[in-house]
């Protein structure tokens, strides 16, 4: 049975999913997603800026698993902000994924005509093309800039999150509205220092788990939705094997003390929008 977390719109999202960031669209994404689904994952996270939606969709269609048993997330890229552009982009993602609807759709980077994009997402939700809508990479500052203008509250905010980057001010801001945090880089994107923290290794030894499983369990017990990425079958399997033990309150407090209060990515830094726009052209093959 896949563990779920209830969102503020009533939908139930699988607590752990499979991330596809930086997996190439050369067959690797198809293979990795197919493996993940065969191993029991029922939550797949992609984005138009990952350039692998088509392979994700093909793997889902070829899996033989009923559509309503798989939670699919994709995201709107900066070039498609504004009402008209976002409306077209939503339809394009559905076409690439070969799906009638997406379970969750996010504003990937919160710059530019975010309000127009959000209104297009609200309309798509009303039309049944999207079940839940949310945002990504919103700091408290960015959240307070945009979200008070939204007619519908986001269900999730997907941000960098791991024991070194615990987003405490953001979690305090989101809690009253029951907006769930989703973690990208839940394992620190392979940060060897994090994976070799003495406390984490000590707990791994105690529970007969690896460091990654301790980290993911910590995040899960905080109520954070995680979707670690791997292309290795053994690691894909291990990453979801986190529900047969529970960290104690003392251990949770000890792990919370690892927080460094900042991450590798600062969405509030000047020039982020321009850097991201120049890094990804989602219409390069149009």
> What is the per-residue pLDDT across 70-90, written as a single tens digit (0 to 9) for each?
999 999 999 999 999 999 999
Q: Is residue 105 annotated as a catalytic residue, yes or no? A: no
User: CB under 8 Å to 207, separation ≥6 — which residues?
Assistant: 213, 214, 245
Q: What is the mean pLDDT of residues 206-212?
A: 97
Percent of the chain with pLDDT over 90: 93
Q: Output DSSP code: residue 69.
A: G
Cα–Cα distance between 12 and 15 in angstroms, integer?
9
* Marked catalytic residue, from 50, 105, 111, 164: 50
Beta bridge mates, 159: 183
Question: What are the tens digits of pLDDT across the range 166-201?
Answer: 999 999 999 999 999 999 999 998 899 999 999 999
Q: Which two tokens stand for residue 115?
A: 């309000």
Instruction: Report whether pLDDT(149) > 90.
Output: yes
Q: What are phi and psi of 74, to 5 degrees?
A: -135, 180
Output the average pLDDT for the chain. Answer: 96
Give the pLDDT score at 280: 83
Distance CA 166, CA 257 (A): 10
Domains of the chain, with CATH numbers?
4-279 (3.20.20.100)
Report whether pLDDT(106) > 80: yes
The residues with which 43 forms a beta bridge, in sequence order, are 71
pLDDT at 72: 98
Residue 38 has pLDDT above 90, yes or no: yes
CA 175/CA 150 separation, integer angstroms: 17
Residue 190, pLDDT score: 82
Q: pTM of the full predicted structure?
A: 0.96
């Amino acid at each position: 049975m896949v563990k779920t977390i209830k969102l503020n719109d009533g939908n139930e999202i699988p607590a752990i999913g499979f991330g596809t960031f930086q997996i190439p669209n050369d067959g690797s994404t198809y293979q990795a997603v197919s493996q993940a689904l065969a191993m029991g994952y029922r939550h797949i996270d992609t984005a138009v800026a990952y350039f692998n939606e088509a392979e994700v969709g093909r793997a889902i269609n070829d899996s033989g698993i009923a559509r309503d048993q798989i939670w699919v997330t994709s995201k709107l890229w900066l070039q498609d902000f504004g009402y008209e552009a976002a409306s077209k982009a939503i339809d394009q993602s559905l076409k690439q994924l070969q799906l009638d609807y997406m379970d969750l759709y996010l504003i990937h980077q919160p710059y530019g005509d975010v309000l127009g994009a959000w209104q297009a997402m609200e309309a798509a939700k009303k039309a049944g093309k999207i079940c839940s809508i949310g945002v990504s990479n919103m700091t408290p500052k960015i959240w307070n800039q945009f979200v008070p203008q939204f007619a519908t509250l986001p269900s999730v905010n997907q941000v960098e999150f791991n024991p070194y980057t615990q987003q405490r001010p953001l979690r305090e801001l989101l809690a009253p509205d029951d907006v769930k945090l989703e973690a990208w880089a839940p394992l620190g994107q392979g940060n060897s220092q994090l994976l070799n923290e003495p406390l984490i290794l000590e707990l791994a030894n105690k529970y007969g788990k690896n460091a990654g499983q301790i980290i993911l369990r910590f995040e899960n017990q905080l109520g954070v939705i995680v979707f670690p990425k791997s292309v290795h079958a053994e690691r894909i399997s291990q990453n979801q094997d986190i529900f047969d033990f529970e960290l104690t309150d003392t251990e949770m407090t000890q792990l919370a003390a690892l927080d460094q209060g900042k991450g590798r990515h600062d969405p509030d830094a000047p020039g982020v929008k321009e850097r991201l726009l120049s890094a990804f052209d989602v219409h390069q093959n149009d």
